[in-house]
Structure 1
Amino acid sequence: MIADLDRAVRGADPDAGLRAVARLRTLVEQLEAEQVAAARRNGWSWRDIAVRLGVTKQTVHRKHHRAEGA
């Protein structure tokens, strides 16, 4: 998968490159959700998580608080 993404990003085909960007966005969102959930399970505050992500506490809470109740 990494090699495919690397080829798409460095290649001349904008369709492949844009598809790679979309896939990377999806992967980043999944990774963030998993790591935020793990941090919360380990007792991290919303503020601590926000600092690590470089966003405000309100932003990270708004984006991820529903997953806690699920």
Structure 2
Amino acid sequence: MTSFDPEHLRTTDPATGLRAVGALHRLAERVEAVHVAEARKAGWSWEQIGDALGVTRQSVHAKYGKRDSGV
């Protein structure tokens, strides 16, 4: 495993860095939604999903529960 050097993340243009952060947030949200849906299809409870994500059952259900109606 290679070590992580945070200096590689530096940029002289804050707008570039902030756009990159926004893009990463959007990507993470999409990846999370896909895997929450897959977990629900596999029969996972909201508590199991919350535990895996490091959040409460209530918060993950509030975020994704309405999308779950097709399961």
TM-score (norm 2): 0.82
Contact 1:46/1:57 (8 A) holds in 2: yes
Instruction: State the SS of the aligned residue for 2:12.
Output: coil
CA RMSD of aligned residues (A): 1.5
2:34 alignment partner in structure 1: 34
Of Structure 1 and Structure 2, the greater helix share is in 1
Which aligned runs of 4 or more in structure 1 are off by greater than 6 angstroms? none
Distance apart, 1:30 and its partner CA? 0.4
TM-score (norm 1): 0.83
Contact 1:9/1:16 (8 A) holds in 2: no
Amino-acid identity (%) = 48
Distance apart, 1:66 and its partner CA? 1.1
**What code does the residue aligned with 2:45 have?**
S
Alpha-carbon separation, structure 2, partners of 1:19 and 1:66: 29
Unaligned runs of 5+ residues in structure 2 are: 1-7
